[in-house]
Amino acid sequence: MRLFVTGGTGFIGGHFLRASLAAGHEVIALRRKGSTPRIRLKTEPTWIDGDLESDCSSVLRGCDALVHLAAVGTIPRQANWRDCLHWNVAASAALWERAADAGVQKFVIGGSCFEYGRSAERFEFIHAQAPLEPLGSYHASKAAATMAAWGLAIERSLSLVILRPFHVFGDGEESSRFWPSLRAAAYAGSDFPMTAGDQVRDFVPVEQVASEFLASLSRPLPIGQPEARNIGTGRPKTLRRFAEEWWENFGATGKLQFGALPYRTNEVMRYVPQI
């Protein structure tokens, strides 16, 4: 299968490139000039330097599917309304339309569990058709992107699946996020301050997420009937338990300092998908 991939130098994107290339797919990947994947790849895709606003129409022709993983604002300190709405909605939607014009029929788009936002509090297990009630700029832009892709798929008779990974962790994750920070403290022999850890989450290894994106390419997707699916393990646990398990796994000598940090503003305490 010939794939056009965006976001291949990102966290999930790098793992998807590794999995798709290992599976024997021909992969064309869009990247900003000079950027490199967060993880080492044994083989490289065909790189196209540019961004979501670049005209890649000639390359898109002949592609069997577009896998869209590019996003702005996944790191909270880098999220702002203007950039998130521009790149995650307007620029992304324009690329999808160019892909449809070039004859691409199948679209696999990376959504976010944070599209659910406040509605997560009303569900023990969040189903994929739950209301989208996002709580921030990145979250709102991903929800808006879902609606844009959904409408385009219906209007243009495209095959579309929106995949919403829940709390993804693993190699290549941005260093300031929880799991890499936990690992760094463990290897340094330091204590690790954190919240009380009562948040309930479904922590998903990034390799599983990449595998599910890859598997979606071989599943038949109905034309003009978009779908949304959650990605999780089905084994929710508290953040405290997650930290304790990995602290032991890392062989840490310091202490986990539960309650040293406050919960975030608008913290959703249970965020668990229906799989």
The per-residue pLDDT for range 190-244, each reduced to its tens digit, is 999 999 999 999 999 999 999 999 999 999 989 999 999 999 999 999 999 999 9
Q: Average of pLDDT values for 6-34?
A: 96
Average pLDDT, the chain: 96
Q: Identify which has the larger pLDDT, 35 or 79.
A: 35
- pLDDT tens digits for 184-193? 999 999 999 9
Q: Where do the structural domains in the chain lie, given as residue ranges?
A: 2-169+203-231, 178-201+236-271
Is residue 264 over pLDDT 80?
yes
Work out the number of other CB atoms within 10 angstroms of the CB of residue 19.
18
Q: Where are the alpha helices (DSSP H) in 7-124?
A: 11-22, 57-60, 81-85, 92-101
- pLDDT tens digits for 26-61? 999 999 998 999 999 999 999 999 999 999 999 999
> Which residues, 6 or more positions from 113, have their beta carbon under 8 angstroms from its beta carbon?
120, 126, 164, 165, 166, 167, 230, 271, 273
| CA gap 145, 39 in Å, rounded | 27
pTM of the model: 0.95
Give the helix/strand (H/E) hosting 228.
strand 227-231
Q: Phi/psi of residue 9, each to 5°?
A: -95, 0
CATH superfamily, domain at 2-169+203-231: NAD(P)-binding Rossmann-like Domain (3.40.50.720)
